[in-house]
Structure 1
Amino acid sequence: MSSVFFYVTYTLCLCLGLLCVLFVSCWSSLWRGGFSWDGSSLQFNWHPVLMVSGLVVLYGYAALVYRVPLTWRQKKLPWKLVHAGLMLLALLLSILGLCAVFDFHRSFNIAHLYSLHSWVGICTVAMFAFQWSLGLAGFLFPFSPPGFRSTLKPVHIWVGKAILILSVTSCISGISEKLLFTLNGSTGEPYSSLPVEAKFANSLGLLIVAFGLVVFGILSKKKWRRPESDGEGVHLLLSEGSA
């Protein structure tokens, strides 16, 4: 019964993640004009899509790799590589998303990192890069000392959870900031009148929050943690040692 409940919850998580990507892509396409890489506002549209897809959705999926019961009877090393690979892809998408917004700012002579959203976002990506590099050195390199691994593990766990919290916070604050700038600065309906675009983007924010909550729910369930086995060593998963 527990396994059935897991797969129901896991399917919900997968669907919420896909909806997040779909909603942010539709918002950028239908209301913001689409995509380009020419320094214009169309280049900025890559920023929310890449940050939501990488920093939230793909990051959350990667965090749950070890939770899938079908993987428990298999060797752990391949799944460590899958976890690390997904995290790396999420990090690269996030960095590309930062490149999109910084290049846009340069084209329009807009100051960088002037808002709380930008401060939280850049700190989150920096923590993510540090976390991935340290995790690679501590948990995948064969010459990593066991003492270093055991010391690193609680730090890895805490930072991993913090990154997911900050990722959700950064994305929902970015949605509000974008709506305030674009709707209140245009000739259309102001944000305060809650036009269709605002309703759609706010719904995206709720989906991101719901996705984050479901990921945390799965990670916090003790019965859904990969069972320890002799010689398995330290898990790479960001929350594996929270028991």
Structure 2
Amino acid sequence: MEDFRHFLVALSAAAAAGLVTIVFVLKWVLHFREGLAWDGGPAEFNWHPLLMLSGFIFLNGVAIIVFRLPWTWKCSKLIMKFIHAGLNLAAFTCATISFVAVFDFHNAANIPNMYSLHSWLGLAALILFGLQIVLSVTIYLVPFTPVSWRAAFMPVHVFVGHSLFGSVIAVALMGITEKLIFGLNNPKYKDSPPEAIFVNVMGMLLVAYGVAILWISTRPSWKRPRDEVLNTWNTSAGGEDTTKVGPSLSQMSDETEADGHVDVRRRGNK
């Protein structure tokens, strides 16, 4: 991997921001809010921010960069596909449970459902995320899907995944702000009480986590190498004869460099 130290810095920043965000949201619902329960009251609503931040967003971010972890490159691509799909399915499950908690709380308190822009965008993101999982499993995990279809769908798969990840973070920030505006009465949100400052810091950590994940997942030099290249590296590392599978990368680079020197000498002679 090129710039491995930079990769470690970005990965450490993403892990730190994500884990600290989880600690913050736990502190928020347990200390500043009513805790956690499943009784139709405000404590049931608190499952929504907890599962959305620690489940949906955090697990989705891990799923996005799991292919780029160099420690997993020795694993087969099929195994990594199942891990990627499993993490996204777990994130989708957390998001679904969090939506059930919100609807249950609203129905028990006679609060209208789906009236805010936050709820509209959140439900749209959940539906699109579910469709993304279904299409991706059908195309990449079903062995009968043509290879040409997989190659054609990959740019769409990556673009939609990144777009949904960033959109969910934006929707979560809208929901956090909405909760503080409606939930803080004395003092109000505009007066910057300790809870408001604490949650605002949590929102900034959430943004930092998203930026770090997108930075890691969009760097071309940190992309998982092709299976042919990995097989060549593994064979060379094992000390076996590599003449049957072609020259090594170092040999090819040496030959290319030598050919370049010959061309330079020929042009000089001319």
Per the alignment, residue 116 of structure 1 pairs with 117
Mapped partners of 2:153, 2:107: distance in 1: 39
SS across alignment from 1:64: helix
Structure with the greater alpha carbon radius of gyration:
2
Unaligned runs of 5+ in 2: 231-270
Equivalent residue runs for 1:197-216 within 5 Å: 197-216=195-214
Change (3 A) 1:126 1:174: same
Per the alignment, residue 179 of structure 1 pairs with 180
Mapped partners of 1:202, 1:71: distance in 2: 35
Change (3 A) 1:105 1:231: farther
1:219 aligns to 2:217 (yes or no): yes
| 1:68-105 residue CA offsets vs partner (Å, 9 max, x unmatched) | 11122331111111111111101100100101001101
Mapped partners of 2:201, 2:211: distance in 1: 15
| 1:169-189 residue CA offsets vs partner (Å, 9 max, x unmatched) | 111000100000011xx3x21
Deviation at 1:231, TM superposition (A): 10
Contact 1:91 1:125 in 2 (8 A): yes
Per the alignment, residue 74 of structure 2 pairs with 73
1:93 aligns to 2:91 (yes or no): no
Deviation at 1:113, TM superposition (A): 0.9
Contact 1:34 1:45 in 2 (8 A): yes
Mapped partners of 1:131, 1:147: distance in 2: 19
The aligned amino acid for 1:33 is E
Mapped partners of 1:150, 1:226: distance in 2: 16
Per the alignment, residue 130 of structure 2 pairs with 129
Unaligned runs of 5+ in 1: 233-243
Mapped partners of 2:152, 2:76: distance in 1: 24
Q: Which runs of 4+ in 1 moved over 4 A?
A: none
Say how many residue pairs are matched: 229
The aligned amino acid for 1:176 is T
Change (3 A) 1:231 1:132: farther
Give the TM-score, by structure 1 length: 0.91
Mapped partners of 1:162, 1:221: distance in 2: 16
| 1:126-165 residue CA offsets vs partner (Å, 9 max, x unmatched) | 1110101110000011111223222322221121011111
| 1:43-87 residue CA offsets vs partner (Å, 9 max, x unmatched) | 000000001112211100111101111122331111111111111
Deviation at 1:14, TM superposition (A): 1.1
Mapped partners of 1:168, 1:104: distance in 2: 23
RMSD: 1.5
Range 204-213 or range 9-18, more displaced:
9-18
Mapped partners of 1:99, 1:14: distance in 2: 28
Mapped partners of 1:24, 1:231: distance in 2: 42
Per the alignment, residue 85 of structure 2 pairs with 84
Mapped partners of 1:44, 1:34: distance in 2: 9
Range 125-134 or range 4-13, more displaced:
4-13
The aligned amino acid for 2:43 is L
| 1:4-37 residue CA offsets vs partner (Å, 9 max, x unmatched) | 2212211221111111111111101111120100
Give the TM-score, by structure 2 length: 0.82
Per the alignment, residue 167 of structure 2 pairs with 166
Mapped partners of 2:87, 2:145: distance in 1: 22
Mapped partners of 1:68, 1:147: distance in 2: 26
Change (3 A) 1:36 1:163: same
Per the alignment, residue 33 of structure 1 pairs with 34
The aligned amino acid for 1:171 is A
